[in-house]
């Protein structure tokens, strides 16, 4: 089996202590670290006294950088990919290079670690046995169509949103999903001013209208509750008897 060449290394989403011992070891062992923002990653490395070359790899240059990175991996270098916070590839750069590695037979290893939506989902009190990760909605084109589609989604929905757009988004959610749908908004997860508000979408909107939120935001929305007909209940009972 081929040795791992690319490591996807999750980094803290708030508290610097949230990084794993294994992640620290890998960052010390690789030849170079590909970073979404070298300044942010540099701060993390300095905190843990890790001295490794850093190379910028972000959404503005990933299409151009992939070919060169693949060449380095084929030449025998071991590289680590990190994002500013959390697991690489979740709403930030990472997909293209991971796909290119798979296509070129280069072994990838993704270490377990911080991801913002997991703690937000688990502590929301909303069903987490089945859920759909939406991430950031389209800012303009396709946004209304996507909301109309998601209005019929039965699973718990997970969104990322920026603080300057969250009030407009909550207002649109009230219109698309209804005022009484349950919502849980978590911000600044794992940081000093972490806060979670769980209530109806309307009440969450009212709260943050009076208390404008700051920081990174994860929004959890309850799926639609479909009313079953008498026939559907009977069919389900028949299935259970089999």
Per-residue pLDDT tens over the stretch 169-200: 999 999 999 999 999 999 999 999 999 999 99
Name the nearest CA neighbour of 109 among 131, 86, 78, 144. 78
Share of the chain above pLDDT 70, in %: 92
Q: What confidence score (pLDDT) does residue 46 get?
A: 97
- Tell me the average pLDDT across 198-223: 96
Tell me if 131 sits within 8 A of 158, measured CB to CB: yes
pLDDT band at 63 (very low <50, low <70, confident <90, very high): confident
pLDDT band at 242 (very low <50, low <70, confident <90, very high): low
Q: Domains of the chain by range and CATH?
A: 6-110 (3.40.1010.10), 117-221 (3.30.950.10)
Higher pLDDT, 236 or 177: 177
Q: What confidence score (pLDDT) does residue 231 get?
A: 53
Return the HEC string of the chain.
CCCCCEEECCECCCCHHHCCHHHHHHHHHCCEEEECCHHHHHHHHHHCCCCCCEEECCCCCHHHHHHHHHHHHHCCCCEEEECCCECCCCCCCCHHHHHHHHHCCCCEEECCCCCCHHHHHHCCCCCCCCEEEEECCCCCCCHHHHHHHHCCCCCEEEEEECCCCHHHHHHHHHHHHCCCCEEEEEECCCCCCCEEEEEEHHHHHHHHHHCCCCCCEEEEECCCCCCCCHHHHHHHHHHHHC
pLDDT band at 60 (very low <50, low <70, confident <90, very high): confident
Share of the chain above pLDDT 90, in %: 82
pLDDT per position as a tens digit, 134-161: 999 998 889 999 999 999 999 999 999 9
Task: State the Cα–Cα distance between residues 231 and 237, nearest whole angstrom.
Answer: 10
pLDDT band at 52 (very low <50, low <70, confident <90, very high): very high
The model's pTM is 0.86
- Alpha carbon of 218 to those of 117, 145, 160, 187, 214: distances in Å? 6, 21, 5, 6, 12
Q: Would you say residue 233 has pLDDT above 70?
A: no
Task: State the Cα–Cα distance between residues 157 and 159, nearest whole angstrom.
Answer: 7
pLDDT band at 3 (very low <50, low <70, confident <90, very high): confident
């Amino acid at each position: 089996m081929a040795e791992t060449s690319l490591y996807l290394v999750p980094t803290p989403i708030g508290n610097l202590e949230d990084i794993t011992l294994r992640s620290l070891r890998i960052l010390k062992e690789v030849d170079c670290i590909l970073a979404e923002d070298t300044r942010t990653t540099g701060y993390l490395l300095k905190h843990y006294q890790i001295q490794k070359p850093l190379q910028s790899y972000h959404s503005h240059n990933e299409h151009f950088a992939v070919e060169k990175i693949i060449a380095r991996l084929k030449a025998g270098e071991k590289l680590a990919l990190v994002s500013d916070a959390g697991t690489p590839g979740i709403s930030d750069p990472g997909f293209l290079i991971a796909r290119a590695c798979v296509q070129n037979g280069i072994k990838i290893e993704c270490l377990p670690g911080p991801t913002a939506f997991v703690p937000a989902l688990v502590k929301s009190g909303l069903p987490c046995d089945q859920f759909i990760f939406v991430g950031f909605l389209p800012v303009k084109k396709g946004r209304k169509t996507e909301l109309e589609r998601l209005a019929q989604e039965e699973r718990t929905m997970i969104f990322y949103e920026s603080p300057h757009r969250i009030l407009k988004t909550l207002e649109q959610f009230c219109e698309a999903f209804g005022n009484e749908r349950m919502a849980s908004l978590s911000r600044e997860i794992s940081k000093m001013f972490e806060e979670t508000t769980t209530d109806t979408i309307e009440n969450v909107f009212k709260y943050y209208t009076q208390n404008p939120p700051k920081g990174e935001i994860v929004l959890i929305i309850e799926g639609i509750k479909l009313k079953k007909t008498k026939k559907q209940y009977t069919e389900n009972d028949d299935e259970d008897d089999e």
